[in-house]
Structure 1
Amino acid sequence: MLVLGGTAEARELAGELVARGVPVVSSLAGRVAAPRLPAGEVRIGGFGGPAGLAGWLRAHDVAAVVDATHPFAERISASAVAGAGMVGVPLLRLERPGWADGDEWPGVDWHPVSTMAEAAAALPALGRRVFLTTGRQGLAVFAGLADLEFLARCVDPPEPPLPPRITVLLGRGPYTVDGELALLRYHRIEVLVTKDSGGSMTSAKLVAARELGLPVVLVRRPSRPAPPPPTVRTVAAALDWLATIGRA
């Protein structure tokens, strides 16, 4: 089994497979300096595109692939579809629901956008003190907003260009509602910017923003390769899929 990982769901799936005696390799992109490692064998780094992934699958006699990467990891997901298709290896997409998928967050003042650039363009009309929780990549789109003050939370330090008035806070979830409320109040935040990552590890900021009545600029998830592979929302459903093909 190959699990394309880096998410909590990927780690949970790898743990379940190891517990069942299923040989599994978890592949991490290597973009985080000290990633949380799952159970079982781990490889770090890319495959060299779809052809490289296809060669790796063939060389390691992989029976099935589960793409459990981050909802915004477009490149590896596209490579997974193409690479697995080249060698005829079954592929499943494991992707948790987005925060804006249903009615789970009534009362949140959503401002959905399609790109980070659209998020930057929306900010001047929403507030001057901005909490950025979109990760360290892509912060360059905010660099021209010299009149706004930013608090950016990242796992690893971001690289320039950055907004001229920015404070970087290094941290990794899960976070608590009380902690997020204290952070927003201390920095006098007026607007939150986040990607629609979904999950519970970082959702406390949404509760805090709702309580304080702050607008939330939500960057929508990118579209997936067409046609998309079979997709499930939970680890349990992924295990059921693997059982149907005799791999778990």
Structure 2
Amino acid sequence: MKFAVFGGTGLIGSQVVKRLNGDGHEAVPHSMSTGVDVITGQGVEEAVADAEVVVNLTNSPTFDDASPPFFRTSMDNILGAARKAGAGHAVILSIVGVDKVPELDYYRAKLLQEDILKDGSIPYSIVRATQFMEFMDAVLSWTTEGDAVRLPSTPIQPIAAREVADTVADVAAGTPLNGTVEVGGPDVFPLDELGRITLEARPDGRTVVTDDTAGMFAAVPGDALVTKAGALIAPTHYRDWLS
């Protein structure tokens, strides 16, 4: 099968391309670095020509109120080109609990992206993943004040990016779900505890202070970011990933 993978040079996209090609498919990565701009539409039609499956792993450059216009424009351009090319399957990567955190601009934007895909005419699949292990350093940096890292006790279910990519590749190579599948890591931690585990393994002089008002994850209600029954559970534990 031939795949057009937008965002195909990024953390997830590059691994999806590698996995699909390793399985004998033809997966071509597309991004700004390859001359494809999903906002202006430059190169998009050429990217999807002859593609049977279109995988959209592009991401908004910001998490603020600029993210909804990004996802609307990029989805309109990609899906319009995919329809014209006759693609039979469109896939996106979203977030577990994205419909339960309306206070966050970025989550509303990702939910908009899902809705645009659902409302289109192309058979589709949505993969919702929990938070990537690779992003934990960034999460710590967002709320660092001097030697203290302020983190809420929000439940988090970290997953390795490689296992997210494997799930996206498997779904993309399969029959369209016309629905959503969730995937998450094997363990759930309060975010403040996850921060302490990280800094114990990689000490840098900072300590974690529990603060349920700190950072974007403070807006998350309850266990909204945790997978529900029927989800796929990846095997890699966070402590093993750290080591």
Shared fold (TM-score, shorter chain, > 0.5): no
Q: TM-score, normalised by structure 1?
A: 0.40
Q: In terms of Rg, which structure is larger?
A: 1
